[in-house]
Amino acid sequence: MAVQVGDSLPDASFKTLTSDGMQDVSTRELCAGKKVVLFAVPGAFTPTCSDVHLPGFMEQVSELKAKGADTVACIAVNDAFVMSAWRRSREIPEDIVLLSDGNGDFTKAAGLEMDASAFGMGVRSKRYAAIVDDGKITYLGIEPGRDVEASSAAAVLENL
């Protein structure tokens, strides 16, 4: 069963590649005492993720932070090296944290996985966005298909 508004994020650890090398980031560390905007994409470099979903957050990261987000982070079931290459190729600003859920552990624990095996991608994350306040979900917009509406930066801004 998928997490819902009012639930706490499951305990998990992500990988992120920084100038200091590979780092672990736990959900507790990410969210403790903070308001966090999370958005998840089925895959870095995939068309809708790269051309539609990500750009909205890149364009509106300043507005999200001005409305109270301490952190804006993107989760994908890709390894940290892919996420880092995606940052470079798309010129993703450093104020968007890229979190690798390479094995899908967080995604499965949150009940937000989808089977993309028909596309040769295996188990991936559903497309969604969430507002998390000190570890508790206060907004969750999960897309039923390929659209980017409930998970868009604009939808998150309306709910911050």
Residue 31: what residue type?
Answer: C
**Does some domain include residue 38?**
yes
Tell whether the model's pLDDT for residue 90 goes beyond 80: yes
Q: Where are the alpha helices (DSSP H) in the chain?
A: 27-31, 47-48, 54-66, 80-90, 105-109, 153-159
Does 31 qualify as catalytic in the annotation? no
**Does some domain include residue 75?**
yes
Q: What is the pTM of this model?
A: 0.94
Q: Cβ distance 106 to 42 under 8 Å?
A: no
**Does some domain include residue 60?**
yes
What domain range includes position 102? 13-159
Q: What is the CATH number of the domain that holds 43?
A: 3.40.30.10
As for how many domains the chain has, the answer is: 1
Q: State pLDDT tens for residues 111-148.
A: 999 988 888 887 889 999 999 999 999 999 999 988 89
Q: State pLDDT tens for residues 64-81.
A: 999 999 999 999 999 999
How would you classify residue 114: left for phi > 0, otherwise alpha for psi between -120 and 50, otherwise beta? beta
Average pLDDT over residues 2-10: 96
Q: Cβ distance 101 to 130 under 8 Å?
A: no
Catalytic residue among 3, 49, 80, 112: 49
